[in-house]
A and B are shown apart, each in its own frame.
Chain A
Amino acid sequence: MKWKHLVLGWMAITALAAALLGEEAPATPAAPAADKPAGVTPPPGVPPAKPPQAPLGLFLLTGDADFTFAAQRGSRGVFEGAVAPMLLWQPCDRVLLELDLDLSLANNPVTGGTDKSGTVALANLSYIVNDRLTVGGGIFEMPFAAFHSHFDPGWINRLPDEPLPYGERGIAPDQGIGFFALGAFPIADSRLTYNLWWTVSPTLLIDDPDAAGSIDFGNFHNFKYTNRNSGLRTAGGRFAYIVCPAVEVGYSIQASEMNPEHFKHVDALLQAVDVNFVKEFDEIKGTVRAQAEWLWSNVRRATYDPTGALGFGPLRFDNERSGGFGLVSYRPTKCGNAFLKNTEFVIRYDWLRIPEESPGGGGEERWTPGVDYWITPSCVIKVAYEWDRLHGAPDAHVLLFQFAIGF
């Protein structure tokens, strides 16, 4: 039995259970005053009553922006500005439309020119079926492992860049086009959450002498590839257990069937485990955050450039890749000093292992200590130094500065 069938079966059982067990969510969530939970302290300045909903529903313009400077010895610095405005439209209590654009501009130290980028990061519509199940479709963020769905925006990520498994040579999907279902079940004080998705498959790169064997997860922006991979040939899910408010443990799996042009069908299986922890301790007068993820991908063996026409084949190798990161941060949130209270100390170790014999292959590992200063809860200045060791290539240490804001 193929992995894909197992994943699909697992997903179907979970979605069915959610549909059957979920209670109907009331259209108007307001509860009588008598049900007011003990201990609730209305925040200062918050209006006491919900105003009547506008005829067209509710709109919210939100998003984030960041400005990053990277300085590397022996090369010109790179300055990048990025803004991601997001429009949310809630026409009624159960429906939400998300539209998010990612726009960025950076100088290219090699060509001396400018790199511009603009993509639709989110464009999806979702519907709350009941308290345990929400369904939707469109372009959406793939909650494979926790980083993209939990910590991705610059004002949330504790360091200026993404961990290696999510970078250019990464092994984790970030966005997908297709359908999704998600929800949560209460288990006493803990929660069991699930995300399921059916999407167009990513593309296996077969003719790039520097990246053959890698998976292009952003392929759906190119309709040539989307047509080629037509049909929802990728299925996946993430299941997380929020053990207690401070600890979340997740497991993700995704099975894909990829159909590169003039190439055999190739299956890919991605898996990940993640653990997140955050707690404020009186003993050390501060808040500790810890995140750890381990991801790995397995692409079925194939022969790349079988005729040798592309100059790097025929090449056949075990296409197993893995990566991960561990991050710990400490912020003295209970310290009396206002400056220290808003300062956060971070360290991250991340790594990526790609088969040496594959095009563009070789491992990479980084140590990145950094310091953040929080101007407000959603506005931060970060400084970090990255010791970047590339196997079989010169080290690429880099000094990073970033200003990030969520709005």
Chain B
Amino acid sequence: MLLTRTIRVVLLFGFTVAAVAVLAAAGGCQGPALMTAAGSAGAAGEQAVATTPPEKSGVQLWAETCGRCHNLRDPAWRSADAREVAVHHMRLRVPMTGEDQRAIQKFLRGD
């Protein structure tokens, strides 16, 4: 039983390391942009809002953090208050640092 568990852990570790290596080699860690809002929004009426800034900023954190799981919605879709609550809620779903939360909220406020 213990041997089986040990083998399983070793296999899992190997699987994880291999997966990360393959994804990184495939270009996953090259370049700062995860995806553009234009590509994600896509449908008529959605506007392109994200670009690739020279350093990590609110818009980039927004695209990276939110776009990792779901399509990006036009921020203007919700009111400023609603966007603030939504980002707070998402901090509970996918933990982010306080700095990241504030940067995203600042971008969504248009500061």
Contact = CB atoms under 8 A, between A and B. Distances in A.
B15 A273 contact: yes
Interface residues of B, number: 78
B12 interface: yes
B12 to A, nearest CB: 5
B29 A90 contact: no
Contacts of B67: 278
Contacts, number: 253
A316 interface: no
A212 to B, nearest CB: 22
Nearest to A322: B8
Nearest to A46: B110
Contact of B42 (A126, A277, A333, A406): A333
Interface string A271-292: 0010111111100001100101
A42 B70 contact: no
Contacts of A60: 78, 81-82, 85-86, 89
A387 B3 CA distance: 35
A47 B78 CA distance: 11
Interface in B7-61: 8, 12, 15-16, 19-20, 23-24, 27-29, 32-36, 38-47, 49-60
A243 B53 CA distance: 20
Contacts of A377: 40-43, 46, 70-74
Nearest to A96: B88
A388 B20 CA distance: 30
Contacts of B58: 37, 40
A130 interface: yes
Contacts of A43: 47, 49, 74-76, 108, 110
B57 A131 contact: no
Interface string A25-67: 1100111010011111111111111110110001110100000
Contacts of B76: 43-46
B29 A246 contact: yes
Contact of A275 (B23, B73, B85): B23
9 contacts: A22-B98, A25-B98, A48-B109, A59-B85, A60-B86, A186-B100, A243-B29, A249-B19, A377-B73
Interface of A: 22-23, 25-26, 29-31, 33, 36-51, 53-54, 58-60, 62, 88, 90, 93, 96, 98, 126, 128, 130-132, 134, 136, 140-141, 143, 149-151, 155-156, 182-186, 189, 191, 193-195, 242-249, 251, 273, 275-281, 286-287, 290, 292, 294, 296, 333-334, 338, 341-342, 374-378, 406
Q: Which 8 A-B pairs have the closest CB atoms?
A: A39-B53, A131-B98, A333-B39, A45-B76, A37-B57, A377-B71, A244-B29, A42-B110
